Chains A and B, each alone.
Chain A
Amino acid sequence: MSAFAMIPLTLRALRQRFLLLFAFAGAFLLAAFSARALSGAGDHVELDRIFELGGPTLGAAYIVIGWLVGRFPLLVTLVLLAGVFSHDRHTGTARILLARPVSPVALHGVRFLALTFTAFLLAALLLPLFDFVMLGRWAGPATFVLIAANVIAYGGLIALLSSLTRADAWIALLLTILAITWNALRTVGMLDALPPGGRQFVTLILPPHGSLLALEAAFGNLEPIPWNAFTDVCIYGASMLALGLFLFHRSEH
């Protein structure tokens, strides 16, 4: 398909973003290696030892780093897919491409797939490496399922937002924070007073944080992968992508 011809150029145009992500990943790995060195011998990092050495400040720093690295699939997806449709439209490149006899859905669908796959690869390289340094073992294929779930959910969301606005990644980030908050409130029953229909609607619209948490918990506890949660995430991502491509196809360029 001729739409694949644009993939190398698409990735090339994101060179600076790749450098940024590599720098970020490098910082995480450096932190992991330094933690390993600080905690002394053994095949994994002992957080107690870190606390002994640097007090609560250092311990908290490493906990935050650990939490952040768990968000790396989200981060890499936001960075790489920001402007996936909207940037071309804003700069006029979309018109130059779409003047050719090519389907806009194919052209932008292929671009979306290329970018999500690249985001998956980057995260799939960093996360196991980080786990290996910090924990001394590989967490198993659940790592990849967790990464794929993040990339699919947030990639689809950015695709939809990108068909509407240039601030796609920022709005996706905002919705992510909202989803985390919403899910926490819902879990503890603080939203029970709201009408069930409205509550379900908001839950449906926001990123599927509950399902992502289920996958993360299974990953952290080395439990079997909850495939129903993964399916929910896939349905959400695919719906968002389909709606995004439809709106992009219909909209002015």
Chain B
Amino acid sequence: MIEFRGIGKRYGDRPGRRRIDALQDVSLRIERGETVAVLGPNGAGKSTLLGIALGFLHPSAGTVSIDGMSPRRYRRKRGAAWLPERFTLPAAWPVLEALTALARLEGPSAALTPRAASDTREPGTEPRASAEHTRGSVAAVGQAADTRSREADERGNAADARDPRADPRELAPGEQAPGEQTPAGRAAGEQAAGEHAPSERAAGEHTGRSYPRERWPHARVGGADARERARAALERFGLAAHAGRAIGSLSRGLLQRVGLAQTMLAAHAVAVLDEPTEGLDPAGRLLFREMAAELRAAGTTLIVASHDLPELDRIADRAILLHAGRVREVFALEAPAARMSWILRLAAPHPSLTQLFPDARRLDVDTHWSVTCDNARDLSHRLAALVAAGAIIVEVISSAPTLEERVREALGAPQSSGRKDA
């Protein structure tokens, strides 16, 4: 658990310098295994908060603790995954050598696998969205395990490949996921992810990738082991062909992939990522999504700061909106599988719709309906029955507001005219 109590951070607190209050009175509690997004405009204090979270920066006021320890002590004892904004390493370092050396630094505590082994959470339950600042209802996040459904699983297979928890290697060439996926597929993907709950499968296993976390523990990290680990990380992020190149010769996107790869050299209980998708191409974003899903499955506490709101909407349990150094809003993000309001678009009007969805509300035309269900599992059952009755479903979208819309509303910015699918 990471706890911020009354954190303030002031820069330029010396005579003759302009004072900037980067953070003021920030109090937060981040539960173990929770994925928290930190967002806000430029200069809102996101990077400062992340720097303080791991003890790289000293707060001017307040205290931070990770599992009851000061961040510095925690880092020293257990280490953490850290991706800075605009990641870089010395230009002359060859990629593989750099990652090998970093893997060696992980040392024996690489064995401190987050919670895959020591998870005290009940299987199928998710971290609580705690919150001195949480406004409104606390969402039941990530109820994938509860809403598993074979039918939906089958139905969602096509879209599953686009799900954050699916393997991007299965994407057909040219197929792009972000923003295109339908909530039905997303919900089914959530359900599929539920099959891979941390209590049931080892971290990394669900992707089918050779991510030998279970092979690392308990032994001191020798050169060969570290090199193997570095190679695995490079391969995982599509960097095998660039292993011999110098850091300085890499493009921004490749460098960012190296940054992500170095966070996965060991299993840490805490991961703090600043702008992880910056400069990444679509394939890189899919790899990041897979990584985030894996960290989540392993029970890692993940803090991500980003301007990429759709991405954060996909991966986070909670989003903290910072504005001018203060917590402006905390959003509990509803997992797609738990969403209750949906919009259906049929190819043609069908009488069974109102029988299967008694509270269905007709929108502008006979083929557009707003429906409510208990959850995605319930939705899938009813959709299956509707299809069996001969209806052709053209589109299913969530009618819940996106994170972007909620942030715009919180900041008082005008809403965009066209709403994208969830």
Which residues of chain A have a CB within 8 Å of any CB of chain B?
A: 2-3, 5-6, 8-9, 12-13, 15, 91-93, 95-104, 107, 252-253
Contacts and interface: CB of A to CB of B under 8 A. Distances in A.
Contact of A99 (B58, B79, B104): B79
A64 B226 CA distance: 50
B90 A91 contact: yes
Contact of A252 (B58, B91, B107): B58
A101 B104 contact: no
Contact of A92 (B80, B88, B97, B106): B88
B393 interface: no
A15 B92 contact: yes
Nearest to A103: B76
Contacts of B104: 2, 5
Contacts of B101: 5-6, 8-9
Contact of B82 (A15, A96, A101): A96
A96 B56 contact: no
Given A5-B104, A92-B84, A96-B102, A12 B92 contact: yes
Given A2-B104, A6-B105, A95-B84, A101 B78 contact: yes
Given A9-B98, A101-B75, A107-B105, 19 more contacts: A2-B104, A2-B221, A9-B97, A9-B101, A12-B97, A13-B91, A93-B89, A93-B90, A95-B56, A95-B82, A97-B102, A101-B76, A101-B77, A101-B105, A101-B109, A104-B76, A252-B57, A252-B58, A253-B56
B327 interface: no
B262 interface: yes
Nearest to B77: A101
A97 B91 CA distance: 15
B54 interface: yes
A158 B323 CA distance: 41
25 contacts: A2-B106, A5-B100, A6-B105, A8-B97, A8-B101, A9-B93, A92-B84, A92-B87, A93-B88, A95-B54, A96-B87, A96-B102, A98-B75, A99-B80, A100-B79, A100-B102, A100-B105, A100-B107, A100-B266, A101-B77, A101-B105, A101-B109, A102-B76, A102-B105, A253-B56
A107 to B, nearest CB: 8
A157 B101 CA distance: 28
Nearest to A14: B92
Nearest to A249: B72
B105 A252 contact: no
A13 B223 CA distance: 20
A101 B106 contact: yes
Chain B's interface size range is: 35 or more
A107 B79 CA distance: 14
B81 interface: yes
Among B79, B101, B105, the most chain A Cβ lie within 10 Å of the Cβ of: B105
Contacts of B97: 8-9, 12
B102 A13 contact: no
Contacts of B79: 99-102
Nearest to B78: A101
Nearest to A6: B101
Contacts of A99: 54, 75, 79-82
Q: Closest 5 interchain pairs by CB?
A: A99-B82, A101-B79, A5-B104, A100-B105, A13-B90
Nearest to A253: B56
Max chain A CB contacts within 10 Å: which of B82, B97, B223?
A: B82
B107 A13 contact: no
Nearest to A3: B105
Contacts of B100: 5
B75 A13 contact: no
Contacts of A8: 97, 101
Contact of B226 (A5, A93, A97, A104): A5
A6 B109 CA distance: 18
Contact of A96 (B76, B89, B109): B89
Contacts of A15: 92
A84 to B, nearest CB: 13
B90 A9 contact: yes
Contacts of B91: 13
A15 B87 CA distance: 22
Contacts of A5: 100-101, 104-105, 223, 226
Nearest to A95: B56
A252 B90 CA distance: 20
Contacts of B80: 99
A3 B221 CA distance: 12
B106 A100 contact: yes
B88 A91 contact: yes
Contacts of A13: 90-93
B148 to A, nearest CB: 36
A12 B82 CA distance: 24
A103 to B, nearest CB: 6
A173 to B, nearest CB: 24
Given A2-B105, A101-B107, A96 B262 contact: yes
B248 to A, nearest CB: 10
A199 B79 CA distance: 47
A97 B84 CA distance: 11
Nearest to B81: A99
A9 B226 CA distance: 15
A159 B367 CA distance: 73
Nearest to A251: B58
Contacts of B86: 92
Interface string B383-409: 000000000000000000000000000
Given A98-B75, A100-B106, A102-B105, A12 B93 contact: yes
